[in-house]
């Protein structure tokens, strides 16, 4: 898999040297599935959660995204109580040409039937039942990419992977991915699938933004090593990085997503927003586009999931494809958002100093470790 990682890194670097558009497709992980560099998230389709788009507005957003060349749509069985899938089904299910053109992704794990212990989770019974329900709501006979929404620790991972392989064999699912799961568990599942000849995972969906970079400790390098295309969700942290929240109004903010947004509106975030606003001004663009451009240009990222409740939000987000951050811009954003990673990240960052012997390896220079033997006479 290391060869796959090198190839993915090279492809990632090359494609961002050129101008991007929704119709400049990328392959998803170690697969031949072609997707747009920005994925349309449909969690905002429907008003059942108290915020989101009315069905007709959602359909206009969907058409506009497709007309611009977009082909990657992401939803889940539990989004807006199933209405998100139903809206997509109503709009795509009757048009086979349009349905076949898009890469339609949905997720399982959420229980849609309270009181039934087997309605949710990742058991064989639950997976197959949830898949059938999603196919019905989506008005389609296959799902292009089927995600585990989050790790279900009550179910053996071999049961989950074998059930998913069965769905692929039956033609009900084309590709598989994991979302919101620890790196060690994803690695276990992928290794098991490869060794047993089951359908492998091709993608990893994780929260990733300038405010959520702890994934760089384990999840991102794991995805690169195992050939999983990363599809970040929450690149604007629920709107905290939209630029609409100002330091002067601190303590008075009211967000539709509640504490998930307001808990992040602290001095560190506003210092980061100051940097983002400066960069946006220099590039003649917007703060959300700066945030999206940064995420989309991170190593291992294939397609970033964007959400939009209005056509204006969609157009603003799509404009991120036109933003070209300079190395100085990236350096400033990295510094303002530097995360604290868990062990052994700090320890591993010191490896070049005591393992490279003062040489340069794979482009990374090292300073000779002062505690190492400095000449032949010092070695035992």
The residues assigned a catalytic role are 79
Residues 187 and 206: their CA atoms lie apart, in Å, by 15
Query: Exposure string (b/e) for 319-353, b if CB count within 10 Å is 16 or more?
Result: ebbebebeeebeebbeebbeeebeeeeeeeeeebb
Q: Which of 317, 121, 338 is nearest to 216 (CA)?
A: 338
Residues 158 and 161: their CA atoms lie apart, in Å, by 5
Sign of CA dihedral 73, 75, 80, 83: positive
Listed in sequence order, the residues at least 6 apart from 223 whose beta carbon sits closer than 8 Å to its beta carbon are: 29, 186, 204, 229, 230, 300
In a 13 Å sphere around the CA of 328, the CA atoms on its Cβ side amount to 4
Q: Are 241 and 288 in contact (CB under 8 A)?
A: yes
């Amino acid at each position: 898999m290391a060869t796959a990682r090198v190839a993915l890194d090279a492809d990632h670097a090359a494609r961002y040297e050129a101008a991007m558009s929704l119709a400049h497709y990328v392959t998803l992980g170690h697969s031949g599935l072609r997707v747009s560099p920005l994925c349309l998230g449909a969690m905002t389709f429907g008003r059942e959660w108290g915020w989101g788009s009315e069905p007709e507005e959602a359909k206009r957003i969907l058409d506009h995204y497709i007309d611009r060349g977009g082909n990657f749509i992401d939803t889940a069985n539990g989004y807006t109580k199933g209405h998100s899938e139903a809206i997509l089904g109503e709009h795509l299910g009757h048009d086979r040409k349009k349905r076949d053109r898009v890469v339609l992704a949905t997720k399982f794990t959420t229980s849609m039937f309270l009181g039934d212990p087997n309605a949710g989770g990742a058991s064989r019974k639950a997976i197959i039942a949830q898949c059938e329900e999603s196919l019905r709501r989506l008005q389609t006979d296959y799902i292009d990419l089927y995600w585990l929404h989050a790790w279900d620790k009550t179910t053996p991972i071999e049961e989950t992977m074998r059930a998913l392989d069965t769905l692929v064999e039956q033609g009900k699912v084309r590709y598989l991915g994991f979302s919101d799961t620890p790196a060690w568990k994803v690695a276990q599942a992928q290794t098991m699938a490869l060794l047993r000849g089951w359908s492998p995972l091709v993608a990893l969906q994780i929260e990733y933004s300038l405010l959520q970079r702890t994934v760089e400790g384990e999840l991102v390098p794991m995805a690169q090593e195992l050939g999983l295309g990363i599809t970040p969700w929450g690149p604007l942290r629920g709107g905290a990085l939209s630029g609409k929240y100002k330091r002067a109004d601190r303590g008075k903010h009211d967000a539709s997503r509640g504490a998930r947004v307001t808990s992040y509106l602290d001095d560190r975030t506003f210092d980061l927003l100051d940097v983002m606003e400066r960069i946006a001004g220099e590039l003649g663009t917007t703060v959300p586009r700066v945030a999206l451009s940064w995420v989309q240009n991170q190593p291992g990222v294939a397609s970033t999931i964007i959400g939009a409740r209005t056509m204006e939000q969609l157009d603003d987000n799509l404009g991120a494809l036109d933003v070209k951050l300079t190395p100085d811009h990236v350096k400033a954003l990295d510094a303002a958002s530097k995360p604290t990673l868990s062990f052994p990240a700090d320890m591993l960052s010191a490896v070049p100093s005591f393992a490279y012997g003062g040489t340069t390896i794979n482009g990374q220079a090292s300073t000779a470790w002062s505690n190492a033997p400095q000449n032949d006479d010092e070695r035992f």
